[in-house]
Structure 1
Amino acid sequence: MEITQLRYFLKLAERGNFTRAAEDLLITQPALSRSIAKLEAELGQPVFERHARTVELTDSGKLLLARAEQILTLVDDTVAEITDDGRTGRIRLGTIPTIAPYLLPPLLRGFATKCPQSNVIVYEEVTEKLLQRVLHGEIDLAILALPVPKQYLHVETLFEEELRLVLPVDHPLSKKKQIVLDDLQPYSFVLLDETHCLSNDIVSFCRQRSLQPVSVERTSQLATVQELVSLGHGVSLVPAMACNLDDSPRRIYRHLAGTQPTRTVALVSNPYRFESRLVKLFRDFVKSFRYTMRK
């Protein structure tokens, strides 16, 4: 059994499809099929059940999955520790979709200037999947919004971010000097789907103040929320950082008067895993980075 076989096995288990896994691995599908077949021959039993377009783990495959993750984590940590010069190497960074396109470009540009020989690999996923990856050692750090429901993780607060009201430019509230939460009572909300923590933040904030937001549409992309608002499908609350890159004349952003809705952005890691000097340097850089919000 070879390390490469285990990496191929893990990728196929993650993607559930030979074609997609091969594309991620930058190999051909026949090469991946041969590797998995050789692995199964060595083990004496199948680790995947093949279906028309997908594969799923057998009981043996589930056992191998747990062991393969442990083995590769140990191998990767050993290599990182031996070759740890604090300047070269990779950093596996996870972040949620409502942060990645806004915070990461200036953050990664700044770090590339500081450590040009480093390689930051970005994983953009919802909170639950990122926390699982941190726990399993698949990523080094994650930037996400609190709360973090998982135990045994190290959480460092980075900054508090306002959630701003987004309206169509011709909305009745657009002329109002001050908008309070009660003003939104007659209007429907456009929200991200339930897998995104931002929607939970919005609903929780509204309910604590006796407003029950009625969701007319849900989507998986913040940009789609903004476009649906522009088209008059409802109103929404979006992170301030999402306003920074939006110059559309079809929508406007307003601060809510009174107690403003916010989210807390934090850095999450696994304190029980080896952390290279490069990852520590990146951690310090993230903590000292100042992201400028528009007024």
Structure 2
Amino acid sequence: MVDRYLLRYFLAVIDQGNFSKAAASCNVSQPTLSAGIAKLETLLGRPLFIRTNRRVELTAAAVDLAGHARRIEAEFAAAERAVQSAAAPATVRLGVLGSIPAAWIEDYAARLRDSGGGERVELVEGRERELAERLARGNLDVALTILRGDSRLPAERLLTEGYALAMAATHRLADRDMIDGAELAGEPMIVRRHCELLSDTSRYFTARGVRPFFPARVTSDDRALRLVRAGLGVTVMPESFHAPGVVRPRLADFGFTRDIGLLFGEHAGRAVRDRPAIRILVDLIESRPVDGFARRGV
């Protein structure tokens, strides 16, 4: 009999790409995970991975097993939720992309509190890939994230927004509505390491001869805004980010946008869209002022 933990180890190796990262994601040591994979291969009588120094490749047997393993894991998760729901209030597990403005989530939490509903919401922050993996495994019900159009999961777009500069209100160019990238030559820039457009932004400035000094590399948008306000440098952010003392002029010929919406786990499906906690989230986003971004259908 194949134990559930063996399938979880197997899926973790596929999702993470190597044994060390897979072990970390499962909260076990690498030798423990390796022993589990070896046991699974013995039970199945076929090798699952081709191990090299640089990466792990799937065998044909692993490809065949992957779909079955994901469905089994999703069913396990669904069974656990069904048992738990009998003794506890309904819980919606909501993933939130790290580059979603914290102000949105603050407003959402306040509306949840004021709604007086019986549902509980578990917020899980992560990167795009992390959220997609959790949805596929059945560890999340729905995620507020960037929609790429190539996901196998059901999705609903809520808004499309562009990107703009963020600079201190005291900056020499702060009174401009539009700034050409070349005008920022010599300006220090703050790197948002989690930015989904990091490579595109770098190419944009390099093409204009701008090779700035980077005084800070951050993974927090709140910290980025505070450093911008302090005058440490400028940065590029989605247009929905705002802070006192920070202005948001547009960047000439920088036409990138991102689609923000809901990505649903296969086990939950679109039915989770009708849960009160998710309706509150959708209503919140749809009611926000149109400021630099367009809502669905616009």
- TM-score interval w.r.t. the shorter chain? 0.5 to 0.7
1:221 CA displacement: 4.1
Q: Deviations over 1:113-147 (max 9, x none)?
A: 85798462525123x67557656755321212456
Whichever residue aligns with residue 252 of structure 1, its letter is V
1:85-123 per-residue CA deviation (whole Å, 9 max, x = no partner) reads 595465443333311655445535764785798462525
- Residue matched to 2:238: 239
Alpha-carbon spacing, 1:231–1:11, altered in 2? closer, same or farther (3 Å): same
- Confirm or deny: 8 A CA contact 2:164 2:239 kept in the other structure: yes
Contact (CA 8 Å) 1:92, 1:123: kept in 2 or not?
no
Q: CA deviation at 1:77?
A: 2.8
Q: Which residue of 1 aligns with 2:5?
A: 4
Selected match of 2:283 from 279, 283, 288 = 288
Q: Find the residue that maps to 1:99 and give its secondary structure.
A: coil
CA distance in 1, matches of 2:79, 2:54: 37
Native 8 Å contact 1:135 1:153 kept in 2: no
Report SS of the residue matched to 2:46: coil
Question: What does residue 178 of structure 2 align with?
Answer: 181
Pair 1:34–1:108, CA change in 2 (3 A): farther
For 1:2 and 1:243, the matched residues in 2 are separated by 49
> For residues 268-287 of structure 1, what are the structure 2 equivalents within 5 Å?
268-269=263-264, 273-274=268-269, 280-287=275-282
- On the 8 A contact 2:41/2:48 being kept in 1, the answer is yes
State the SS of the aligned residue for 1:144: strand
Say if 2:117 and 2:276, in contact at 8 Å, map to a contact too.
Answer: no
Structure 2 partner of 1:253: 247
Corresponding residue of 2:261: 266
Distance of aligned partners of 1:13 and 1:225 in 2 relative to their CA distance in 1, 3 Å threshold: same
Q: 5+ unaligned residues in a row in structure 1: which ranges?
A: 207-211
Map of 1:60 onto structure 2? 61
Q: Which amino acid aligns with 2:173?
A: L
Match of 1:154? 155
Describe the shift of the 1:5–1:89 C-alpha distance in structure 2 as closer, same or farther (beyond 3 A). Answer: farther
| Corresponding letter in the other structure for 2:165 | L
CA 1:267–1:61 in 2, change beyond 3 Å: closer, same or farther?
same
2:295 match: none
Residue 44, structure 1, aligned to residue 45, structure 2: yes
Aligned residue pair count: 272
**Match of residue 167 from structure 1:** 167
1:141 equivalent to 2:142? Answer yes
Match of 1:282, as an amino acid? A
One-letter identity of the residue aligned with 1:165? L
Partner of 2:296: none
Question: How many Å apart are 1:60 and its aligned residue?
Answer: 2.2
The two structures, once aligned, show a CA RMSD in angstroms of: 4.8
Report deviation, 1:83. Answer: 4.9
1:196 equivalent in structure 2: 196
Name the counterpart of 1:209.
Answer: none
